[in-house]
Structures are given as C-alpha cells and as structure tokens.
Structure 1
Amino acid sequence: MILTLCINVTSRIMDTASLRGSEYFIQVDYDEITNTYEIFSKHVTIEQHSTSAKVTFEGHKVFKVVPNTENNVKIVMDLQKQRIGEFWSDQFDVHNAAKITVAPENINKFVDVMNRHGIEFEEIIADLQKVIDSQLKPVITVERSTDFLSFSWNRYHTLEEINNWLDELQNNYPDIVTTVVMGRSVENRDIKGVIINYHQERNNTLIGMIEGTIHAREWIVPATTTWIIKEFLTSTDPEVRALAENIEWHIFPVVNPDGYVYTFTTHRMWRKNRSTRNFTSCSATGVDDDMSNGVDLNRNFDFAWMSIGATDNPCSNTFAGPSAFSEPESKAVADYASKLKNQGTFVYYFALHSYSQLIIVPYSHLTAAESASITNYADMYDIARGGADKLEERFGTVYRTGVSADILYPMSGTSFDWVKNETDVSVSFLIELRDLGEYGFLLPPEQIIPNNLEIMDALLEMDRTTRLLDVQVQILYDLRKQDYYYWTDVFTVNSNVRIMVSPLKDEEFVQYCRNFGLNPVISINNVQKLIDDQLRPSLMNAERSTTLGSFSWTRYHSLSEIHTWLDELAEMYPNIVTTVNIGESNEGRLIKGVVIDFKAGDRGDSPLVAMIEGGIHSREWISPATVSWIIKEFLTSDNNEVQNLARAFVWHIFPVVNPDGYNYTFTNDRMWRKNRNVANFVNCSSTSDDLSNGIDLNRNFDFLWMTVGASSDPCTQTYAGPTPASEPETQAIANYVLNLKQTGNLLYYFAFHSYSQMILIPYSHLSGSDVIQLENYADLYEIAIRGADKLTQRHGTSYRVGTSADILYEVSGSSFDWVKGVANVPVVYLFELRDVGEYGFLLPTEQIIPNNEEIMDCLLEMDRTTRQLGYYSGAVSITVSLTCLLISLAFIFMK
C-alpha cells in the first residue's frame, strides 16, 4: 500500500514567459521486502535541462546478485524501486548475474533482504568511488610504455583529449589521416573520427568502420579504438600493416560525446545520450529523475525498433527514444554508414562495447536457430569464433560468440544490426570487451593495454578468416560496381570466376584482389586478339575441313550467313529440309530454323519429334557452330548410327533463337549475352548503361520465374525481365514447343550453351536428394552419364553430369526447365559445351570441329540408352529406373 499526498506549488519565474511547477511528494510506503513503513520526501523540479551536481559514490559498494527463481527476480527488481540500490543494467533474468550499487546507508538493509530470501550475492567492489578515482590516475607500465604523440594508454582520457589527439594525427600524417565530423550531438558537440587511407588514389576501395562509445560509461571502448588507430599508423607487424593499408578505415572513438563528457563531469555510470526532451519524474522506478534525461542510442536505430530488449520508459537505461532515429547521434551514424556503402566495398563494421567478453553476431532479436537462414550468418559466426580463439592465446581471456539473444539478452534497435540489414556490410559485429564483471564498466587502467593487445590479435585473425571464407564471394559481387566485365554470372566458394579487365585497370585489379587474399591468374592475355582470331579460318583443321554449301566449321559465322545457309539447305534437300520461322525478335529479326524429316508424310499419327535450341545466350558462338554441325551430320553422314538418329525423328533445329543479341556480338559487343530490349533502360551507375538494354532469355520462361538464380535488376546479366515470358523470343519458343506436342511424340529437347563442359538435368533449382522430385531423374542421369563417358573417349574431354544447382549454380526461368516442367517432354538437357574456362566464350576456331565430333558421339550414345530404357515406345522400365536412382543418388552424396 502506498499513500501519496501531493502538494503543487507554482511560482512565476522572473523574465520568462512560461511557468515552471515544483512538486513536493510526501510518501508513506509499506515495504514488502523489509516489512516496515517508511516516510520520505522527494523534491522534483520539472525543467528542461539538468543542473545536477557531480554524483559521488564514496562508500558505495557494488554487489553481484544471482536470482535463481522468478520470485527472486521480482525481489531483486524491487530493490531499485524501494531505493535500496541501483542496477547497472535493466535487463536480467533467472540465473543471470546482476550488478547493483548500494549506498552506505542501505548496505545492511540490502544484506538482510538477500539473506532472508536466500538470494545468492557477492561483494565485488568495496568502494565504488575509489575505483572511479583510480581510473584517472596513470598506471606505471614502464615495460609497456606506448605513448604516441600526446596520448597514452595507461589511463583513460577525456573527450577533449581524444579529439585533440585526432587533430594531432592529421597534422602528423597529412597524407594518410583525415579528421571527419559525422554529425553533432544533442548538446552540439562534434562526433569526431578519422579516416585512415594509405592509398588516396585507389578505386575499388575496401572499407571498414569502427564505432566506439555509443554507451558513455564504457571507457575501455575509446581506449581500445584509439589503440587500434595507433597500431594502424605505427605498427611494424606485417599483418597489422596489411590490415591497415588494404582497407580504408573510418574510426570514431566516441559517437556519444555528450554522455561521455557527462561521465567525467557529473555521473561516472551514465550510459545514454543527454537528451532532456523526455524528462519526467522517475519516482516510480526508484532512480533519480535525471535518468530520464537521455536515450539509449543502441536501441534507437530503425531496425526491429522497440520489438524486444528495449523500453518506452525514459527512466530506464534502455529507453529507446520516442521514435526510431529520434536522436541526432544515431541518425549521424546511420547516415554515415549508408554513404560508405556507395563509396566502395563495405567489408567491416565493428561496434565496441563493454563489458562481458563477447563477440556478437547479428541479429540481436533472433536466436541462433532463427538466424541460420540469414545471408552469411554461418560465415560471420566462423569469423567470430576464429577471432575469439586467437584472442585467448595471449592472456587466456575467454570470449564467447553468438547472437545476443543466445549469449547475452535479446535486444532491438542496435547500430550493428541496422548497419548489417541496411547496408549489407559483409561482416558486422558487436564486441563486448573486458571483463566478466569483476570491475565491469570500471576496468582498471592496468588492463587497458592487455585488453588492446588481445583485441588486435582477434581483429587480425578475423580478417584472416574473412579472406578465406564466403566473404570473398561477396567481395567479388561488390567488385561488379567498379565497371569490370564478368564472364561468370554466379559464383560460389572454390569456383573459378572469369573477369575481363582493361589494361588501364590491370594493376589496380590485381592489387584489389590480393588485398583480400584472392590470387588472380591471367587466362587470356589479349581478349581482342582472340576475338579477331575467331573470324579467321582455322588452319589446324585444314585436313579435316568439311563444308556444306556455303558453310564451313573452320570459323564462326554471322547471323546472315547462318540464315542464308539454312535457305540453301532447303534448296539442296527439298524433300527433307524445310525452313521455318517461329517468330520475330524484339528488333524484328526472324527466329529461323529448319525441319529435317526423311519420311515426310509417311510417319503416321504420332511421329517421334525432337527439338534443338541454340544461341539463346548470344556470346556463346560455339553453340550455333555445334547446332549447324548436327544439321550437316544429319544430312550428309554415312555413319549408320547418325543416319538412324536422323531418320528416327522429325527434327526441329534452331541455331540462333536470340538473333538480335547474336547480331550485336558481331557489330557492337562481342561479350553481349542477353536479347536487345530497350524498354527497361536505366542508368547503370556501376557499369555501362547499355547493359540494361536486354533480358536474359534463359531466365524469362514461366517456370519458377525469379525464384532463384535470377535478378530483377536490368543492369545485371541475369535480368529475368519485368514479367515471365515478357519477350517475343521466349514466347516464340514456348508456343512452338506446345504446338510440336500436338504433332506427335515430342521426346527430345536439347539446349546448347557454353562454357563449362556439363550435361545439365532438370530442374535447375534442385540439388542433393531433392532431385528425385523429377520422376524420371534416374533415367535422365543414366542417359547423360553414358553420353558423357562416350564423349570422353574421342578427345579425352571430361563432362560433368547433374542438376545445375548441384554442379553449376541455381537457376530459374530457363527454357529447358520450362520444357520439362510445363510441356512435360520426357528427355530434356542443357549442354554446356567446351571449355572449362581457359578461353570461355572465345573458344578458338581450331576447337570447333573437335567439340562437334565429341558432341555427336555423346548424342548417339544418349539416344542408344534412351531406346534401351524404352522411351521410343513409351514403355519405360521401372526396374532399371530404380537401379539408376540408387547409382545417381550415391554419386550426389559422394560429391
């Protein structure tokens, strides 16, 4: 029971136009903890700015309390409400230790309550003020004297000393260090830091940011960030030098300057900023009203704001503010980090705090199980774990790693979570420094340097691990912003990536890669020479020179040459060959092919039908060269197996289904991949705007469109279009396939691409055991693996077999997946032709005929297996299929 008598006294304040009220509370409390009545008075002056005198903690003790039941938690929480003590943190739970400061006059009462309720407690600081005073006295560390300019690490420094030192650094290192003010605080102080950049002329900058002292009382934080700055400028350790010089560092020792100053002038244990606009009486929570003069900046960021681990009570240390980004300090940090995202490759964001000895991984409102699906969570955990293990080696200090909800407590609205979510920085951590609570926020000065040494060890190891893990993949994706031309569209760990680099950027590119532990190897010295060579007839194949009409396979042919040749064939073989146009492209070109039918008009009602698609990706010149060779073989070969295959089917063969793109590779851009559709033109700030003038036709089909392995950005090579089947080329293929289904038994669909030397099985989004969702996967696997084995026998070329997701990368919206999934064609494959990357899309002309010969061997063997499995008649053997299923799955799991 609480009786409150409230007397309001209002007085006119001279020379002002407003009234301020004072309230005197005479309160009679019945204390459930001590079983006593207590009368006390409290005077609260409601005004906009605090005028508190310096708080002294002389004789105050700090206790560690461990509540072991929910009832214990309630009793412990009531200690503050009854003004027996004040907690260092607002967040504690069963079995979690809480620190509480107790004034001399309340010590006996505190001990009595603990003993009476059987709550575990321990005195950890005998006189709080003595510990605070000792932090400002330099500790003598002769063997580790590391003064640098006006700064040292044998005591804690004021904001003014820190900011003056930052200015000194710029004066002493004008070519490397630049001071920067990211914004101003509530009380108009600069939020000051430094940029350390050893290569001002460098493009493709790797960027790291370190945020310090968002919580004012955590003095070890600016002592650590300043040490890192000092090491980056003065260390001779090769690993430190590499970390310092490979990355442009943006380091801010104190992002909460008002709060930090307040810990020196008024209240050493202050945590928040100094915003007075939420001032209110804190009598109900048992703390001084001044507690309401501040917002916890690390709960004020607009990510999952106020969802957990934060409060709307200004009298709490975790007050998240009246709204997200209500505070100028949090807004300044967010704005600055957002700008960094656009200035280079944002690799690191480290937020330093104390205490608890933790490396915390995003996101803090989720458990580890809930975080597992987050992009690169596993990598960040491995990076953190590696850093913690290395840190322990120096002094035996143990750090734990994980998400905050698992190893500390859940929280929301934090800086490092926001930065990870909004900027997609590769690696973002919150690091809780020494100790585990013996001194807590009052870490003695003699621990500053040991703490700093082990943290540098951790940073170096984390950087080493970062360079070895998937982050390298992200770095390469980010490099796309810098106007490099990628031949590889999707890449993963341990896969080769082909990037075309102009001579002007050679050195810069190599240095960039090496900075991050990537070792580029030149595979083509002069791309233009290779392009020019593709239009010259190969002399190496002179003895094997084979021509048919105006066509040969000693060089690559233009679209007009291919179309002219198709017309020639119809004239040369009028009873067998018919030209067919299945539609027009965006620019009005014909999508032209041939129908080859040796038994025209004599096949009955349900003839076997097959279709071959080529040149859907325009830069893959070997594709139409292969498809045209197949046409030539079907018409001229004296091999019995070739003749049988040619005559068994009505063949519908299209060398180039992307005529606009293919033509563009001859007239404008040899490396063009997509069609030519200008309807989605946008400014591609990171590359040529022309890249947006096209759609990847092999992502545009209406089967699982845009679910995986495709992009909605017109400035990417895998742009899937504004809608599925938006392109006339895609529509033409799809409509033609559906019409073929009506003309007979459409058994085969082969799509030819390059490069990688693979035979891909539908579906391209499935991997592992999921591949058996395709009912005849086992048969398709056996057909393909036999074909690949036969192919190898000719020239020793090795092809891999499997779904794209298993052996290449995930894809959706592809033509052959659509043909299988929608048109339900039994035997469907995508062939990735020669080579495995030595020449890539620029396969030399002398390889055209060898490639074509081995592909014909492969097709004949695949057809032989298809017939053995009963597909010609439709009577597929289930027994064989099950046997093959076991074989194919065993292969998948052994990979």
Structure 2
Amino acid sequence: MHANTIYFIFFTFLINFCCCIKYNNYTLYRGIPVEASHLKFFENLTSMFNVNFWRHPGLLYKPVDFIISPDDKDLFVNRANNLGLYVTTIMEDVQQAFDMQTVKTYIRREMDSFDWNNFFRLGDIYEWLNDLAQVYPQEMELHSIGKTHENRDIMAVKILLRGSRARSKVIVEGGIHAREWISPAFVTYLISQIIHAPVSPDPNLKMIANTYEWHFVPVLNPDGYEYSHTEDRLWRKNRHGGQAGVDLNRNFGHSFGTVGVSWRKNAQTYCGPFAFSEKESSAMAKFVRSHGQSLEYYLAFHSYGQYMIVPYADRKDHVDNYDELMKMCLQAKKRIAAKYNTQYTIGTAYDTVGYMTSGVSGCWVKQEFRVPAFDAQLYSRKKRSTSNEIYWTNYQTIEDIYNWFNHLASTQSSVSTFTVGRSHEGRNITGIKITRGSGTRAFFLQAGELGADWLSPTIVTYIANQLIHSNDPEIKAAAEDFTWYILPLVNPDGFQFSQDYVRTWVKNRRPTSSSTIGVNLSRNWNAHWGINGASFSMAANNYAGHGPFSEAETRAVSEFMDTIRSSLTGFLSFRSFGQRLLVPYAQYSVNPSGNYNSVVTIGRRAMGSLAVRYNTQYLVGTSTMVHDGATGAIADWVKFRYNATIAATYLLRDTGFHGYALPVTQIIPSGEETFDSLLAIIREARFINVL
C-alpha cells in the first residue's frame, strides 16, 4: 500500500464528550506503573473501586488511564501514595467535559450541514450518506450488510470512482466500540475525501482514491453508538442482553477467548459465548468474505492513544509479514509527525498498549485472507482546560512552560520569573528563580539548546516542580540552601520549529547564508570553540557559527550569568541523549580541570544514585573520555569563566535506540532518576567538603 494512503488515513480530530448517566466529579487519572506491585494494583482496580478504564494496564512504564467515582477517590489516592505510585490528574471532573458536547443535527439535502467540527447521531450519519449517494449515484452505493440485535441496519458504503479500473479493494471499519465517537467521525470524513477526490487539488489523494475500490462500514455497532448518545456516554459494547452486551472487538474468530478478554457478562471486555455470536460481528465477517478474493487492505479505527497496531494481538512475537507492515507504518508515522507533530507508536498490541488480546477484527481478517490489516487508535487534540496546568506525561510546549512559570510567580512567594533576552525570531528566553530559603549561593540549571531535544526542557520543569512543592526534608533543604535559576529553553526558535515542522531540527533559526539556516548552540560557547566536534560548514547540524557567542541566544545567557557570577556555585546543563555526565574540559583526557577528581567522584556516586530506581546506567568523564570530544559547550565555559564548584552536562535518556523520540512513558522515570542524582550531587559534594 502506498505510504501516502496510510498518511492520508491517519488524520486526527478534536474529540468532545456528553451524556445521560451523569459522571459529576468523576476524575480521569493517568498512572504509570514502574514496579510489579504497581501493575498488580492497577490490574485489581475494578475489584476494589468503581473504575472505568480508558487505557488498560499492560506493561511496566505503559500509562494506564481510568476514571474513578468521587466516593472512591480519597481511598484510591491514599493507597496509590502508600505504594509510591505516580498518578496525575488528567481531568478533574469528566462531566464538565461531557457537558461541552457538540452533537449537531443534519438537515436533509443540505450537505454543508454535515461537518467534522461536531459529532452526529446515527440517524444523521445515515441520512447524510443517503444524500451523498444520491448526489453521486454512479460512484457511490449505500446498502445494509445486516441487522443488529435491536434491528438497526448496519450500513456500508461502496465507492468506485468514475473511470477507475481498480480491482483491489480496501475495507474500512469504524464504530465497533460505541463510545469511540471519533471513529465514525473519521470514517465519514474519509468517505467525503474519497468521493470528492476528482476535484481535489491534491494529486496524492486523487491517486489513492482511484487506485482502489473502497468499502466503508462507518458504524459497526449502531445499537451501542446510539445508547452512548442517549443513555451512557461511556458505553463500549453492543446491546445484546441489555446491560450485559458483548465487546464486538473480542468476538471475532481469531484465537477467540484465549487472552485479554473476560467471561464475566458485565465486564467491558466480555467476549460473548462463542466466536461470531453477535449479529454485528457475524454480518461483518460475511461482508468481508464476500470481498475476500480481491481484498488488499483492511483498516479499523478506534480511539484513543495514537497507536498504529498491526497483527497479531494475541502474542508477543512478530510473525508473517510483520516487517513489511512496520515499514508502511513507519513511513506513515513520519509523515504525520512532519505535518502535525503528532507522534504515533507503532507495533503489535503488546508492543504498543502493553497487553495481549484476542478475537480482534483485524487479526481475524489477516489470518483468513493474508492481507495487511491495521488498527489505528486515533488521537484527541483537545486542548488542556487551563493554561496553568503542566504535566510530565507528555512533552511540553513553550506555551505550557511559560504559562506555568507565570502561574507559579503569581501564586508562590518563593518563585519569580526572569528573562535573559530574546531569540533571533524575537521569542523570550525566560526562566524562573526559586528562593525558598535564605541561601545566597546560586545553582543554575539550563536546558533546551537543541531544537529536537524535547526531553530536557520537560525534565528541568520536573526538577523545578520538586524544588518548589516538595516537603521531603532533603529536597526542602536543597531548595532552601541555594537560590535556583532554571532556564528550560535556550533555543525557543529551534524548539518551536521542531514541534511545528521538522522533528529532527537541532539548530537555532538565524539565516547563515542565502540557503542555510541555523547554528548549533551547544557548540557556540567560548570554551575551546571550534577545536573538536564542530563543523564550519553552514549546512551541517553541528555548525558552530562564525565565532563564539555569534548567536543572540548564547550572548543573552552569558550576559545574564555575568550578573550572578559572584554567587554562582553550581551549574548543570541538560541535553538528550546519550546517558552521560560530562565534566570539564571536553578535549582533555588527562588532568582536565583543577578539581576534576573531586567532580568525577561526585558524579560517579551521583550516577550510582540515579541507577537505583530503574538501573539506568550513565558514564562519567570528559567528553573525550566517554562521548564525542566536542568543544564549545556551556558547562566548559562556565567552569573556565566562573570556576564554579560544580559544572557538568547531563546527556539524558536514552543511549540512542529512540534518540530524540524517547517514548513519553519514559519522561517521568527520567525525571525521577535525574532528580535523585541532582540531590546526590549536592549530598556527595557536601560529604567531601567541596560545597
């Protein structure tokens, strides 16, 4: 299948909620299990509390999303705290979000009244499809593939564009889970795009639309979909058996009932008494079989999570043409990220969501017809409810960080903001100053020199949050004994460009010639500038500039640091990736700096503390000893100019497997272990009397 096909199909939408059973003060939480006891706790949640999973527990470090009733919240939080389990609130009151629903009524034969800024009831979807088929009678057919338990039609759409000689078929499935309203919305959007492709200016869309005969089932679970609109917004299953219902995506004939299902009728993942026991799954199987000889691709859409899942869901190993499917997904993932900065995780169910399951529609199609089958978990692009919140379960934006800083400065007497200057494109380079005690010695934490490095700004905001809010005695002592300056985004222009356009962009955004842009700020400091590890080719990613401090960003930071030079005791720079702690000076391997032995001793002990939580291993030494030997780094300049007692550079997770695309599930573990090591640096420096 063309990569453009996958790319085109995985567009995303804004999702809103509503409904009749009220969920006032039900809270949506996200927890990340980092120990076996945490995972077991999540697996047993439904037996202890009134819980509805939105993202089920699977593997360690995989996020678990769930809503919990107000009656159970306090007890849940206490038990989670006793386990040392990290849980963050995603939505304090889900009913407030449900009440913001935008469900619209379609006006017959007024095609523009059907849009993708709102959701629509089943009848409206069917009426729009009927009108669309009347507008395009030669290209589009609408027909029922069967009846539901409550006698509703399961409608299917066939599109074969005029002049197309397509023989291969694509089947697109939506709405198998009732509450996943984004799925039918997306499938109807895709129907609209395909039928209107002949007048589209997009040549890729025209090519895709004409290459295949398209078949769509936008709402495979009509009864459940309607019930989620009229009675219970969180209803997932069909309506066979009233309040029992069957999870249709556990009812297909592939490894039926073997793993990842429940045999309890009231469970969300109840698989039914036998494979294809349900009218909906049976009708879909019959429909797919009728096209099996010429079927080329099967695509199923769900929400949520930003996953592209390939068969098979019932196992850990990769079989059949897994590598071929992954290549398609990887191309699609890159195209989506380049256009919308939306990051998808690809792989089997076990690889992505962290658990195995059976009876899945796409896996059955793959097994029966040996064709590529994809299961897309779409993404909600809903904005946060307040600009004052910040989370460490995802990467942060400039707006997230600066709004949070302003909120802290207005609500915390110990916090103030400072701006060192502006970037080439005029963005503020802003940080926060933390003074919880009377300590006059200064510690400066700096991050975000490289645009593609989204991890380090998020890690230093995590550190800031701990220093501001924690009452742990050691953390509080560290916060009170020093004045902390935290600057998370030295390169805001490159960071924004990486988030908006080119994910791997590392330099700043100053034009350096008529055809080149950017300087690598991590090579632009006046510390053996340009000697090692830098390029003087303006097109290179490691271009060091035309001289030290040639860039507005490095000049602004250096000028600010001159204002605190008399109190500067410690300096730490954070970048990703590599799992190194680099100490001055980069180009030396023998007697690198005056207190090298002390700093290395402190660093090695601190990295030992870092490894305690998750066994993450760091190397300690000069850049020449343990990394690439590149000069012109800020920590070297700070050591040379101010002779700070502590000066070093963290190269954060990982060692290169994910690189700049470190999964978001590793943000909190990385923050925890890094903060552990920061406390250890202070503790060990005091122990050997250098701080």
- Given the two structures, how large is their TM-score scaled by the length of structure 1? 0.38
Tell me: higher relative CO, structure 1 or 2? Use CA pairs within 8 A at least 6 residues apart. Answer: 2
Larger radius of gyration: 1
